[in-house]
Amino acid sequence: MLPKWFDKWNADNPTNIFGPAILIGVLGGAVFAAVMIIAWGNPAQTASLQTGPRGTGMSVPEFNVVRRAADPTIEDYYTEEPYIPEGGEDLAKDIYENVQVLGDLTEDNFNRVMNAMTQWVSPEAGCAYCHGDGDLETYGEDTLYTKVVSRRMIQMTQNINESWDGHVNANAQVGVNCYTCHRGQNVPSEVWFRITPVNASAEGWTANQNRATSLSQSTSLPSDALEKYLLEGETIAVHSLESREAGMPGVDGYASIQDTERTYSLMNYFSNSLGVNCVFCHNSRAFYEGAEVTPQWSTASLGILMVQELNTDYLVPLRDTYPEDRLGPIYADAPKAACKTCHKGYQQPMQGMNVIADWPELATTEAPVYE
């Protein structure tokens, strides 16, 4: 109990104690935050990837928390070292019936690859996903479409590693295998089907755009960019140095406004597929100038050609092999691939992991070389 004179003096001389308390709290919090940043690192720290000549400002900044974030599918990746052949072993094609691919492997390595494919593509269904529930004697039959498709996918994987080295191994020897796309799923994520026109009651531009679709990356841009450029092989470049073009766009040899918007749609898809922005490939001073692009531009250009080949030579021809429930919901077309099918939002699939090191059988159409 304080004396009355003290209570009266306090009442006559009020003091604001909240201001100093708040100031001390803010300063203390700032000191604590500074100590934590020093101890644990700045969560907003960035790093830049140089994409052009030094001093030109051609770089792509990324937050370290994003750059270092691990692809969550990597931890489920299954791999196993090959069995080095001693020579003279029986080959798979001499042991098993109807071995049309991988027949030059030894029995141990053949079964090793089959087991890996099961882990990569059908970990729940197991061998039965391609071979059915019959006995081992029935494994040579082609009664299930999954087996026929898998055989063609093995050939596609070998072709990618053998013929498109400039794209898949541009930065380092990493290659691709079934897991690159499938990630433990029967059907890879980010495959695509034809969906245009998105407005059947309209013609022209409004039939293909101004609808938020997955293929337009939920924008109002045209939804047929993947179809036009990664399947039909139309010209992507639309830039002209002429301020005025004579004639009709889209008819007299130069691009229309919709062609330009379609190109933007494709570029937007690229950016989202790799988790990068425009200057990852282009010089913002002159987007059209091929002499001023980054090294990544040529890698991406090879990737476009590669995807076109995969779609036209491997994926689209399988249309009549698939059951109805595996075809597109609108045009009953075969599932097709694009950049995001492999990259899944990362600059390099599986963040640059070498997925072919233990699987030389999938790197060539010839007899594999074991080291």
Answer whether residue 132 shows pLDDT above 70: yes
Q: Report residue 39's pLDDT band, with 50, 70 and 90 as the boundaries.
A: low
- Rounded CA-CA distance 11/41 in Å is 49
Instruction: Quote the pLDDT of residue 334.
Output: 98
pLDDT tens, position by position, 273-296: 998 888 889 988 888 888 888 889
Instruction: Quote the pLDDT of residue 43.
Output: 64
Mean pLDDT: which of 27-41, 66-80, 153-167 is highest? 153-167
pLDDT tens, position by position, 87-131: 889 999 999 999 999 999 999 999 999 999 999 999 999 999 999
| 128 CB neighbour count, 10 Å cutoff | 14
pLDDT tens, position by position, 255-270: 888 899 999 999 999 9
Residue with the bigger pLDDT between 56 and 307: it is: 307
Q: What is the DSSP letter of 360?
A: G
Contact 302, 167 (CB under 8 A): yes
> Which residues contact residue 9 at a Cβ distance below 8 angstroms, ignoring those fewer than 6 apart?
none
Instruction: Quote the pLDDT of residue 17.
Output: 64
- Rounded CA-CA distance 73/211 in Å is 31
Name the nearest CA neighbour of 210 among 226, 197, 227, 192. Answer: 197
Q: Report residue 3's pLDDT band, with 50, 70 and 90 as the boundaries.
A: confident
> Which residues contact residue 335 at a Cβ distance below 8 angstroms, ignoring those fewer than 6 apart?
187, 191, 192, 193, 315, 322, 326, 327, 328
Here the tokens at position 122 are 């059908």
Structural domains of the chain sorted by starting position, each given as residue range(s) with its CATH number in brackets: 68-189+354-371 (1.10.468.10), 191-240+249-343 (1.10.468.10)
User: How far lies 204's CA from each of 211, 258, 259, 355, in Å?
Assistant: 14, 9, 12, 45
Sign of CA dihedral 52, 338, 80, 360: negative
Answer whether residue 200 shows pLDDT above 90: no
Instruction: Quote the pLDDT of residue 201.
Output: 81
User: What average pLDDT does the segment 313-331 reach?
Assistant: 97
- Rounded CA-CA distance 368/315 in Å is 25
- Rounded CA-CA distance 207/214 in Å is 16
Contact 124, 76 (CB under 8 A): no
